[in-house]
Structure 1
Amino acid sequence: MKCMIFSVAAGGGHGHAASALKEYILNKEPYSEIKILDTIKEISPVLDKVIIGSYLKTIQYTPSIFGKLYNFTEDEDGLTSYISSKFNQLMSIEVHDKIKEFNPDFLIATHPFAADMIGYLKRKKYISLPTIVILTDYASHSSWIHQGIDHYIVSNDDMKKEIAFKGVDINSIHTLGIPIKPSFFDKFNRDTTLMKLKLSPKKKTILIMGGSLGMGKISELFSELSTSDLDAQLIVIAGKNKNLYDTLIEISKTSILPSVIIGYTNDVNKLMQASDLLLTKPGGLTITESLASELPMGVFSPLPGQEIKNKEFLLRHNLAIDIDDDPNYINNINYILLNNHLLNTMKENTKKFAKPNSAHDIYTLIKKIIKAS
């Protein structure tokens, strides 16, 4: 198999999905050639710094602007969508050169920009290769949907209905989930993990995180929870956010609850398996990993736009509670932790939406499509 996967380094989920699928395919077919293209960076490193840098600053400091752009681009005929699409079409010429150079037999996109470029090339008949788009969230958005795309991979049946309603042939929409790396499914002993962190295996454990950037009101949550009367212990992941890590360390000095502060880590799967409740921003990758770990969630600080849609999905299916703007959120958390029936019900719900075989199922679909083309 020779495949190109187009991604964009805006948020971790798009790139992680691409890497996970590549790793799985190479495990199954070691002689395959799988190339991941960080699409904008590959075309122009300078442009990538401007676009991705602006994106990261926007979601950190002025997320409301990001939310407005999200809503504007939902309108396929709107000016914002038109400008975005024209920009992507201009860049697609460079992408076409990359495709010709690598000469793959299949194309995959894990970001809407890349999906737009590939769809344009297909519509204009610059390429005739089979194409798949993997949506890396839990609700649809028009920016993912483009004429010329042959197949769409979604994470849940709600999305399948949403996309079909927007005019996509339902037979081309596959509820196969978002791929995560095979190593994430390695099993770890909960008691061993907690004892290595000098925490008690007998206590309920709350894991707090905000993605690799450590975003959201993590320090505020930790400050309030660490001095509460919860019968629990806390693990907090700061990610790559050094300022957040330093703040959390300071707060931990006055913590009443047993607490552990961790910076960036590759052991998220181990920590999720050792926890009873995850408090997090509702990013697509984090949700996927949490569902795979059968871990109920409490969600906070969603980015306006996609993460709000993700939150709505989680609440609709009783996979999470909303801890934003709720003065009783500590009592609600305590109620869940003390109510084993409720906690187990939420865990059972995660099993309904987890897609642990996502990478395998996407690989199988690719093989089927290649064989038929």
Structure 2
Amino acid sequence: MGNYRFILSGGGTGGHIYPAIAIANELKKRYPTAEFLFVGAKDKMEMEKVPQAGYQIEGLWISGIQRKLTFKNLMFPFKLISSLLRARNIVRSFRPNVAIGTGGFASGPLLRMAAGAKVPCVLQEQNSYAGITNKLLASKAKSICVAYDDMERFFPANKIVKTGNPVRQDLVDLEVGKDEASAHFGLVPKNKTVLVLGGSLGARRINQLIEKELEFFKAKGIQLLWQCGKLYYEDYKQYESKTVKVHAFLNDMAQAYAAADFIISRSGASSVSELCLVGKPVLFIPSPNVAEDHQTKNALALSSKGAALLLKETELDAKFQSVFAELLTSENTQDELSQNIKKLALPKATQHIVDEIEKLLK
């Protein structure tokens, strides 16, 4: 069992950082003496989240291309050259056995330089519509771990392995009952509960919808467990009541999922993977403001299989009440959604990704 060195890069959003940390944790379990180094973008959240998880990180001066002509775009060639040179130095001095990229801009220069130095590379693509960085790196990778079918549109078929996305271990072992979880949040166990998730920062449009529909939920006898996000907590905490529990952030997601009968959520890759494990009826409201509209594509991949409901932000005013009322009254629909979404769960994703990495260790 050699002293292996693993270099991991991914970031910009939690959706890229969290899988990289989960993969590192699994590798560490198998190779306790291994060394790890993360590489991220200097001003992004990975610079804070990765050290919190106990790993060392180096930052590159890189950012994405903006959609319009800005000063940032004019700087892009300089940032790219600077990042490539820095990445080359990091690879040379760390001498990794394998490089792992989970998407996001920093992984571009790092994996490009690792591949150039003959380091075997593994990519992990979380979304049903591949990100630009991973598409550019595909030709250099030995193995590409994906979470959805039909990814041959983006990657060479012989490199694709369907593993699923890493998910939090406490959700794999979900053992909390509804009664206990409801009590934890001060809710009544026998009443139906809707869990509202807009991501860690919150989702303005989902919050506006819930605020507008508070009377509708009340009339239907529905309790709300509402994660409004830390950016919006001050605006919405006034709605806290016996039947509406407003939180800036829910630290105990296992309890929150257990308390819920229905879930309203964004459709980022890690949320979708978690919700497949949870197996409750879900209504996805994708964020339209993300690269290549991948949240809508993630949600469509499930709704087209009868595994979730999907409403675009533009449809909420016209359709939300009728769609949700129908879900509440049809136990058939509830059962069908639950069963179909559970079929898509891949609880051993992290182990399977690390199995692929192990094949490359010389």
SS class of match (2:161): strand
Deviation at 1:23, TM superposition (A): 1.7
Instruction: Choose which of 152, 158, 167 in structure 2 pairs with 1:180.
Output: 167
SS class of match (1:191): helix
Distance 1:191 1:43 in 2: 45
Deviation at 1:100, TM superposition (A): 2.3
Do residues 260 (structure 1) and 224 (structure 2) align?
A: no
TM-aligned CA distance change 1:183 to 1:2, over 3 Å: farther
TM-aligned CA distance change 1:212 to 1:364, over 3 Å: same
SS class of match (2:188): coil
Deviation at 1:200, TM superposition (A): 1.7
Do residues 128 (structure 1) and 115 (structure 2) align?
A: no
TM-aligned CA distance change 1:85 to 1:18, over 3 Å: farther
Distance 1:148 1:89 in 2: 19
The aligned counterpart of 2:328 is: 337
Q: How does 1:322-333 map to 2 (within 5 A)?
A: 322-323=310-311, 324=313, 325-326=315-316, 327-333=318-324
Instruction: Choose which of 165, 183, 195 in structure 2 pairs with 1:195.
Output: 183
Report if aligned partners of 1:20, 1:359 keep a CA contact under 8 Å in 2: yes
Which amino acid is 1:20 matched to?
Answer: A
Instruction: Choose which of 245, 262, 286 in structure 2 pairs with 1:277.
Output: 262
Deviation at 1:143, TM superposition (A): 3.4
The aligned counterpart of 1:144 is: 134
Q: How does 1:291-370 map to 2 (within 5 A)?
A: 291-304=276-289, 305-323=293-311, 324=313, 325-326=315-316, 327-370=318-361
Distance 1:23 1:184 in 2: 16
Identity across matched positions, percent = 18
Instruction: Choose which of 27, 37, 43 in structure 1 pairs with 2:29.
Output: 27
TM-aligned CA distance change 1:232 to 1:180, over 3 Å: same
Distance 2:195 2:338 in 1: 15
Would you say how many aligned residue pairs link Structure 1 and Structure 2? 333
Structure with more helix by fraction: 1
Report if aligned partners of 2:103, 2:125 keep a CA contact under 8 Å in 1: yes
Which amino acid is 2:125 matched to?
Answer: L
Report if aligned partners of 2:147, 2:165 keep a CA contact under 8 Å in 1: yes
Distance 2:258 2:129 in 1: 26
Distance 1:225 1:134 in 2: 38
TM-aligned CA distance change 1:85 to 1:116, over 3 Å: farther
Deviation at 1:154, TM superposition (A): 0.8
Do residues 233 (structure 1) and 223 (structure 2) align?
A: yes
Distance 2:86 2:17 in 1: 20
User: Which structure 2 residue ranges, 5 or more long, are not aligned?
Assistant: 44-56
SS class of match (1:345): helix
